[in-house]
Amino acid sequence: MFDVAAVEAGIAGTAFAGRVLHLASVGSTNALALEAAQSGARTGVWVADEQTAGRGRGGHGWHSAAGDGLYVSALIAPALPMTMALWLSLATGLAARAAIAEVTGMAADIRWPNDLLLYGRKCGGILVETAVAPARDDDRAMLRYAVIGVGVNVNHAAFPVELTALATSLRMESGSEIPRGALLAALLRSLDEEIASLVREYRGETSAGGLLARFAEASSWVLGKQVSVDEAGGYTGETAGLDERGFLLVNGDDGVMHTVLSGGVRER
């Protein structure tokens, strides 16, 4: 069980303070957050001990063992253009990586755009769902709201046979049980900082390193990784950085510089 009071104490001063709703079992925390957003809410945090219909990107399911993982969705409405929607996923990856490092001391890798890896196996995933506000006159389309879903394998001791070679947990890699409440508080603090930094970057108010540069530094997948990509009929090549929108570039073995638009990147 989560000690919500302790989590709230750990996120005092953030945009998420006083907003954490804990549930024992739900279909999907993202679904609850989306329902609240569609009813007019613009902030909130939903965390569950178990998801019975957890979702990943591309309609994939998410293995959500009861009591073992962190299954959380945050509703936000920052003043950002829809052209930066992908940046929210990248920023969340950095926030989750920072939270894992803070609580466990381990350095997770980020497989563009949304997978958290430890020693080559997946320990977490991110699903960001957005809605656009109607553009006025010649103004750019702005974000109406975003629901940021994060799933982390925390205290799983084992996985179904079909996932054994692909998945791991923080406990399996650290050798000790990890407090989920501490990880949740660390994640929300880091996410609050990343979103605020993103808004400052959009406004041109920061001199700190930009999000794309920081993501490239944190992820071994952005540059020089031999990969296969399952979109556009499938192709192979070497990753060649991010474009200005945050999409992954792959220097294809076919001689074409590909822009990966929807993920499906795997090492080869």
CB 97 within 8 A of CB 117: no
> What pLDDT, on a 0 to 100 scale, did the predictor assign at position 132?
94
Q: Set out the domains of the chain in order of their start, with CATH numbers.
A: 4-212 (3.30.930.10), 222-267 (2.30.30.100)
Assign 65 a pLDDT band (cuts: 50, 70, 90). low
> What pLDDT, on a 0 to 100 scale, did the predictor assign at position 163?
86
Residue 150 identity: V
Consecutive H or E run containing 237: strand 235-242
Print burial letters for 252-263: b (CB count within 10 Å at least 16), e (below 16).
beeeeebebeeb
Q: pLDDT tens for residues 135-185?
A: 776 678 999 999 999 999 999 998 888 888 999 999 999 999 999 999 999
- Provide mean pLDDT across the span 86-93: 97
> What pLDDT, on a 0 to 100 scale, did the predictor assign at position 79?
94
Lowest mean pLDDT among 23-32, 59-68, 221-230: 59-68
Residue 186 in this model has a pLDDT that exceeds 70: yes
Report residue 101 as tokens.
């490092």
Its pTM stands at 0.94
> What pLDDT, on a 0 to 100 scale, did the predictor assign at position 207?
67
Sign of CA dihedral 184, 182, 194, 117: negative
The label of the residue with tokens 């499906």 reads 264
Q: What percent of the chain has pLDDT over 90?
A: 84
Q: Is 259 helix (H, G, I), strand (E, B) or coil?
A: strand
In sequence order, what are the residues at sequence separation of 6 or more whose Cβ sits closer than 8 angstroms to the Cβ of residue 61?
53, 54, 55
- Provide mean pLDDT across the span 23-41: 96
Residue 127 in this model has a pLDDT that exceeds 90: yes
Answer whether the bond into residue 113 is a cis peptide, omega within 30°. Answer: yes
Phi, psi of 37 (to 5 degrees): -65, -40
Lowest mean pLDDT among 89-93, 96-100, 163-167, 218-222: 163-167
